[in-house]
């Protein structure tokens, strides 16, 4: 919790030892990482193996219940599709559990000796132990930072610079990608849903690239605000995507820098009013945000760096 390279090595060992392998993901309702998500990760990591989900609220230590071993025997025999001949584990409990199950214990200590990490250590400092996380698990622990605000406040440049500074990735504004392929620059209400979906899809796909931090140049909430600004209505599909956005931090850029005309920039007036609408939308969505302000671009960048560094490791 979460699965890490140690677990993967243990399961690979079992798969090379036995003809048929069942991986049991046991979870409790109160655990910090949902059991269903962990099952999904394991099935992506080991698509050729049987991965089953044990949701019984079983005791976790023998001293918690006098029938500890019988409880676990009953649960495991119920969820495993085959008779259990071997039990693979890297901890001492494996020998006793194998005995109870009438199976042979096959120890594997490489998980502990060669890959010295634990789920607890990863949960406490995931970025410190990043190398031990399998690719499907990394997006769960990656930090998503949204750069948000009115036009001509340096959002794209800040995203690029933050990604370079933190060795992360940045997500370009999908509206530019979409409109670049059009015969003209005229935006319609129908375009807005495509832009919002494209922005979300870009985030999700780049999140799976394995970077510790992802910096997003706008989001579907931005698209919703521009729907109101340009068309005085927000399609239901765009509103729904805007509500789904989830970020560890939002950097709200104050429009106190000079306006610079550019491709697709349409509102040189009213940037301060749009800033207030952005701020209100963030507060309505209960998102954590930090205001980046000042006419000095270097100072704005330094403010943003400090805000990102303040995120939990």
Identify the pLDDT of residue 103: 97
- Pick out the chain residues at pLDDT < 70: 110-114, 183-185, 261-268, 313
Other beta carbons within 10 angstroms of residue 152's beta carbon come to 18
The CATH number, out of the four listed (3.30.950.10, 3.90.650.10, 3.40.50.620, 3.40.50.300), of the domain defined by the range 5-132: 3.40.50.620
Domain with CATH 3.40.50.620 in the chain: 5-132
Q: Where in the chain is the domain with CATH 3.40.50.300?
A: 142-309
Q: What is the pLDDT of residue 87?
A: 96
Full-prediction pTM beyond 0.75? yes
Is domain 142-309 annotated with CATH 3.40.50.300?
A: yes
Collapsing DSSP states into helix, strand and coil, what is residue 303?
A: helix
Element (H, E) at 201: helix 189-207
Question: What φ, ψ does residue 213 adopt, rounded to 5°?
Answer: -135, 140
pLDDT score, position 313: 67
Position 43 scores a pLDDT of 97
Query: In 46-166, which residue ranges form alpha helices assigned H by DSSP?
Result: 68-79, 93-101, 110-113, 119-124, 138-141, 155-166
Q: How many other C-beta atoms are found inside a 10 Å radius of the C-beta of residue 172?
A: 16
pLDDT of 179 reads 80
How far apart CA 133 and CA 4 sit, in angstroms, is 5
Pairing between strand 289-292 and 169-171?
Answer: unpaired
Q: Which residues contact 189 (CB under 8 A, 6 or more apart)?
A: 227, 231, 233, 235
Tokens encoding 194: 């495509």
pLDDT for position 61: 92
pLDDT reported for residue 185: 66
């Amino acid at each position: 919790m979460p699965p890490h390279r140690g677990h993967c090595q243990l399961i690979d060992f079992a798969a090379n030892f036995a003809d048929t392998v069942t991986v049991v993901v046991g979870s409790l309702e109160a655990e910090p990482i949902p059991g269903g998500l962990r099952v999904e990760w394991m099935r992506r990591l080991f698509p050729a193996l049987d991965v089953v989900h044990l949701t019984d609220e079983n005791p976790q230590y023998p001293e918690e219940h006098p029938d500890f071993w019988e409880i676990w025997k009953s649960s495991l025999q119920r969820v495993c599709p085959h008779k259990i001949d071997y039990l693979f584990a890297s901890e001492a409990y494996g020998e006793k559990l194998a005995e109870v199950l009438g199976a042979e214990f096959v120890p594997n200590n490489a998980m502990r000796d060669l890959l010295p990490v634990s789920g607890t250590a990863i949960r406490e400092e995931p970025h410190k132990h990043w190398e031990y996380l399998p690719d499907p698990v990394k997006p769960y622990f990656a930090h998503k930072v949204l750069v948000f605000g009115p036009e001509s406040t340096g959002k794209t440049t800040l995203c690029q610079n933050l990604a370079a500074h933190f060795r992360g990735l940045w997500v370009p504004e999908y509206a530019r990608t979409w409109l670049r392929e059009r015969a003209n620059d005229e935006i319609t209400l129908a375009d807005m849903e495509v832009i919002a979906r494209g922005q979300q899809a870009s985030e999700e796909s780049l999140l799976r690239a394995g970077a510790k931090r992802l910096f997003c140049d706008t989001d579907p909430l931005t698209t919703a605000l521009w729907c109101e600004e340009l068309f005085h209505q927000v399609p239901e599909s765009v509103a729904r995507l805007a509500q789904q956005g989830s970020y560890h931090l939002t950097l709200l850029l104050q429009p106190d820098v000079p306006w610079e005309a550019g491709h697709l920039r349409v509102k040189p007036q009213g940037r301060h009013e749009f800033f207030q609408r952005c701020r209100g939308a963030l507060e309505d969505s209960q998102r954590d945000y930090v205001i980046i302000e000042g006419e000095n671009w270097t100072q704005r960048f330094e403010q943003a760096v400090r805000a990102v560094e303040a995120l939990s490791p």
